[in-house]
Amino acid sequence: MDDSAKQVLRRIIRRIPSNKLQITLRKWECLSKKQFRSLDFTQPKWLICENLLSLCEENDLSLKHVTELEMIFHIEHPTQGTWYVSQLIDAEEEALTSDLLNFRESFKVHLKSLISHVSVKIKKHEDDAIWIRIAWGDNFTKPNHFKPTYVVHHLQTPYVFVTGLAAKHRPLLHQALIPSAHYGSIKDVHLSGRCLTALRDLLMRRYKQVFPEKHPRLLEERSPLPSHPNIENEHAKHAENRLQMAAEAFGDGMLPKLQTAVYKLETSNLLESLKYCVSSGMASAPVTPLLSSIPRKGRNYFVITDKGPGINPTPGPNI
């Protein structure tokens, strides 16, 4: 086991939480049962790492085996960085019949024809997602395994999820990915977040949706009989309509977990535009404090939390 593999393994062990280390190493399957039992996971992590290094040297493991451990951890815990989503467009006929073997060989050939030193590992997950780990080098230096790029692509879908990709490597990835997936081009869909599962469910509509109904469904009985039936029935009707509209817009059930959203209003005068929205009836009055606070507070940078709006004391460039 060379020094490079040892350094990468140490870094991977440091990044894996202590309570996840045992199960991750078990899934790795590079240690014998006897060797695995010899590891004491109650010890400090640095000591576990040194004992693990000794076992890896005993088994003559290489950098290839070490990167396999990293992939296992990332696949099981895909919240280690921010994921950015792109969409493949102009699909060819072969895009609907692409399989892992052809995709793997084509991607490696295309990428290695563009850059001399690059390390590519491709693994298929249980949910049919193709996971790609890329360690980038250049024409003169070896691949840097400390800062790999991860790419996730579901075959027969146009979506690509990427994390850890430097701007200079983006064109290379796209030039290898587009022909391998049998598409004509690729574009940014302006969607990002730390939760890969949420991004996937959001794009592929893997949550319970509700479609508009002419006659809203009735609410289940949730409270005692009202003392004034006419008034309470009217309130219940309005409440049901609001619930129906919310369900039609966001679905009925647990939604994908998305942390942030950024809106950009392209106008020459933001405050005049907001004022016009109210005066023209496009927005209801009184104006929400989230918008009216701009001229009143003299700020244009705001942070909204789950427990209510908060205002950052430092003015920022955007709303």
Ranking 4-8, 62-66, 232-236 by mean pLDDT, the lowest is 232-236
Indicate the DSSP class of residue 97.
Answer: T
Three-point CA angle 80, 120, 165, nearest 5°: 45
Round the average pLDDT of the chain to a whole number and report it. 83
Higher pLDDT, 97 or 231: 97
**pLDDT score for 208:** 64
Whether 241 shows a pLDDT value over 60: the answer reads: yes
Residues 42-63 as b or e (16 or more Cβ within 10 Å = b): eeeeeebbeebbebbeeeebeb
pLDDT (tens digit, 9 = 90+) per residue, 264-308? 778 888 888 888 888 887 777 777 777 788 888 888 887 777 764
pLDDT (tens digit, 9 = 90+) per residue, 176-191? 999 999 999 999 988 9
Q: Select from 3, 65, 7 the least CA-distant residue to 31.
A: 65
Rounded to an integer, the average pLDDT of 256-271 is 81
| Confidence bin at 311 (pLDDT 50/70/90) | very low
* Residue 164 token pair: 């850890």
Burial class (CB in 10 A: 0-12, 13-18, 19+), 16: buried
Percentage of residues of the chain with pLDDT beyond 70:
87
pLDDT (tens digit, 9 = 90+) per residue, 47-84? 999 999 999 999 999 999 999 999 999 998 888 889 99
Burial class (CB in 10 A: 0-12, 13-18, 19+), 27: exposed
pTM summary value: 0.77
Tokens 């990709």 sit at which residue? 165
What span, in angstroms and rounded, lies between the C-alpha atoms of 152 and 206? 17
User: CA of 315: how far to CAs of 260, 295, 302, in Å?
Assistant: 19, 12, 8
| Confidence bin at 316 (pLDDT 50/70/90) | very low
Whether 194 shows a pLDDT value over 60: the answer reads: yes
Contacts of 4 (CB under 8 A, 6+ apart): 63, 145
| Confidence bin at 318 (pLDDT 50/70/90) | very low
Q: What is the dihedral of CA 173, 177, 183, 189, to 10 degrees?
A: -50
Q: Which domains, and CATH codes, for the chain?
A: 3-76 (no CATH), 83-203 (3.60.90), 263-308 (no CATH)
